[in-house]
Amino acid sequence: MKAANRNLLWAKVFVDELARSGLRAACIAPGSRSTPLAIAFAEQPDITVCSLIDERSCAFFALGLALASQQPVAMLCSSGTATANFYPAIIEARYSGVPLLVLTADRPPELRDSGANQTVDQVKMYGDHALWSVDVALPEAQPPALALRNLRTLANRAYATAAGRPSGAVHLNFPFRKPLEPTPAAGDVTEAADMRDAGLPHTRFWRATMPPAREMIGWLGDVLHHAPRGLIVCGPRCPTGDFPVRLAALARATGYPVLADATSGVRWGAHQHHLILGGGDSFLREAKGWRSPDVVLHFGATPTSQAVDDYLNAITPQRRVWVSEDGIWKDANHLATDFLQVDAAALCAELAESLAHHPNASDSDWAQQFRDAESLTWGTVEDALDGDYFDGLVLADVIDLLPDPAVLFVASSLPVRNLEQFGRPGSKAIRVFANRGASGIDGTISSALGAAVANPDVPLTLVIGDLAFYHDMNGLMAIKRLGIRATIVVVNNDGGGIFHRLPVAQFDPPFTELFETPHGVTFAPAAALYGLDYALAGDRAAFRQAFAASQQSPDAIIIEVPTHAEHDLVRRNDIIRRVGQRLHTNSPIEA
């Protein structure tokens, strides 16, 4: 390995080790101090480089790419306030367990705290939101072998830590003295020997899964065997891979209904089964008189739906078993009786096998009660499709019209809640993503486009509110720069419509000015600015036509759907009321 000077050699050794460790993507914002690393990435054939102009957009793009690929992604910026613009995405990565390698360039130590331009304190600047932070040593003119070995193992360790359990962001702060460009420097060592054969990393990290212990299966199998009424809850960010299939098999073995969050990865796919339900946000509001389950088995994070969470808080099961592969506590209500850190798919498979030999005396009336409520819910939603169009039905239509397979990214605030309530389960292979770790609205467009790059052969649909769209409009620049195909549905209710669901809506002023914040903006000019197609869909027929056409088009498009927040809330509440009426008419089994 050869380089023009110490900085380039330092950067090339480090990037080479990242590639050997498995890194395949880097998102780079332009800057001067980061030049050595930018050049090293550009020259590394095994790493795809995505150039993003704005640091905040760059970071959220990397976040979406890592979220969808389930592999660490590097992001690089220059020094100064550029590094602060990475922070919101790092916070999201911390709480959603997304693996990121955060590389910030810095001034050398003699320029810190000196008044030098574009110099801020970057050492451990992300605090506990980073899993690990390192102020990397300055490149040396004549580095000893130990220094180069340290640089190599630093890359190996950083990649392994970001991808570990738990996953998250690792921050490496790289100080450089000039020259930053590939200019020869007298006295610099410019060559480093490869330390390993055939592209192997200097140090390989091996990580075993945590299969369930025999005692765990024996105990939990016995709990389920003696629990005729059980409930499985799949919250956001459940495990991927074989987990949905294994979970469905466990549901069949137990006869337990599954409350599948829209962002769980369980609600849609070939594993779909009649016990996997998605209507809980509507029908569980009427479940106060239902019998309590004997046991609740919970995977993933706290449910998106407040109604589901309220129901789970109200019931009194004998055991609440929470399964967390990374060992991170996710029970916001502190009701778990048992907390299991274990491979979730393996746990489901072994429990299903155990119950095959020792079946539980499942209460068929219990499961039927949930299935009946599910059927009534979707029948009610289907009836509502003939009425006035509103934001919830936009999500129902999106699920209906998406191709198979598809990638769907939903913004926080109303879109993810509407998907939760109106996204009917089905067998389509729909991968749903959302930034629901910290649940901010910033960077949503960028994250969605990053997810699209991770799935280049599957069409991307982003459903986003007007404020979240406005917040990250500069993220649209990546579409043309990187050739991304996307359908962006902007549900424009002219402000913060979700605040109408809160008690503060009854206090105006200051509600309209300080909470709803109407803006009067429409987004056709944004489409024109970034060279994107645009369609205005004022009713259901127009939306369905525009959306169906977008799925066949090679070009990116913004479909704007104007709605009215108060009208949307009335329509939503009317559907909930009708579901409640039908449930009472059909006399669900009560305690």
3-state helix, strand, coil in the chain (%, to 5): 45, 15, 40
Question: Do the beta carbons of residue 36 and residue 11 sit within 8 Å?
Answer: yes
Say whether pLDDT at 590 is over 70.
no
pLDDT recorded at residue 208: 87
- Fold of domain 214-378: Rossmann fold (3.40.50)
Say whether pLDDT at 589 is over 50.
no
Q: What's the whole-number average pLDDT of the chain?
A: 95
pLDDT recorded at residue 586: 73
Strands (DSSP E) contained in 347-485 are: 406-410, 430-433, 460-465
Residue 52: name the closest of 26, 34, 73 by CA.
26
pLDDT recorded at residue 198: 73
Instruction: Give me the residue spans of the domains in the chain.
Output: 6-175, 214-378, 385-577
Question: Do the beta carbons of residue 538 and residue 563 sit within 8 Å?
Answer: no
> How far apart are alpha carbons 587 and 514 in whole angstroms?
44
Q: Which of 4-8, 50-54, 193-197, 472-476 has the lowest mean pLDDT?
A: 193-197
Sequence-separated contacts (24+) of 67-70 with Cβ below 8 Å: 67/96, 67/98, 67/433, 67/447, 67/450, 67/451, 67/454, 68/407, 68/431, 68/433, 68/450, 68/451, 68/452, 68/454, 68/455, 69/24, 69/25, 69/454, 70/99, 70/240
> How far apart are alpha carbons 352 and 349 in whole angstroms?
5
- Other C-beta atoms lying within 10 Å of the C-beta of residue 186: 6
Question: Do the beta carbons of residue 372 and residue 545 sit within 8 Å?
Answer: no
Helix locations, 300-363, DSSP H: 306-314, 344-357
Say whether pLDDT at 504 is over 70.
yes
Percent over 90 (pLDDT), the chain: 92
**H or E stretch covering 149:** helix 145-162
Question: Between 190 and 436, where is the model more confident?
Answer: 436
pLDDT recorded at residue 135: 98
Q: Please check whether the two domains, 6-175 and 214-378, share a CATH topology.
A: yes
Q: Which of 192-201, 249-258, 402-411 has the lowest mean pLDDT?
A: 192-201
- Mean pLDDT over 20-38 rounds to 98
pLDDT recorded at residue 587: 52
Please write the tens of the pLDDT for every residue from 342-359. 999 999 999 999 999 888
Strands (DSSP E) contained in 156-245 are: 169-175, 230-234
pLDDT recorded at residue 87: 98
Structure tokens at 126: 């992300």
pLDDT recorded at residue 471: 96
Phi, psi for 146 (deg, rounded to 5) = -65, -40
Calculate the dihedral angle through the C-alpha atoms of 244, 247, 252, 255, rounding to the nearest 10 degrees. -130
Q: Show Cβ contacts of residue 330 under 8 Å, excluding neighbours closer than 6 positions.
A: 235, 300, 301, 302, 322, 324
Question: Do the beta carbons of residue 102 and residue 172 sit within 8 Å?
Answer: yes
- Mean pLDDT over 498-526 rounds to 95
- Architecture of domain 6-175 in this structure: 3-Layer(aba) Sandwich (3.40)
Please write the tens of the pLDDT for every residue from 446-500. 999 999 999 999 999 999 999 999 999 999 999 999 999 999 999 999 999 999 9
What single DSSP character describes residue 340?
Answer: E
Structure tokens at 543: 């939306």
> How far apart are alpha carbons 100 and 162 in whole angstroms?
6
Q: Show Cβ contacts of residue 65 under 8 Å, excluding neighbours closer than 6 positions.
A: 25, 27, 50, 73, 450, 451, 453, 454
Say whether pLDDT at 526 is over 90.
yes
Structure tokens at 261: 């969050």
Question: For the domain 385-577, what is the CATH code?
Answer: 3.40.50.970
- Mean pLDDT over 413-426 rounds to 97
Phi, psi for 522 (deg, rounded to 5) = -115, 165
Say whether pLDDT at 588 is over 60.
no
- Mean pLDDT over 308-332 rounds to 96
Say whether pLDDT at 69 is over 80.
yes
Please write the tens of the pLDDT for every residue from 232-279. 999 999 999 999 999 999 999 999 999 999 999 999 999 999 999 999
Q: Which residues of 187-198 are buried (b: 16+ CB within 10 A; e: fewer)?
A: ebeeebeebeee
Phi, psi for 409 (deg, rounded to 5) = -110, 130
Question: Do the beta carbons of residue 191 and residue 9 sit within 8 Å?
Answer: yes
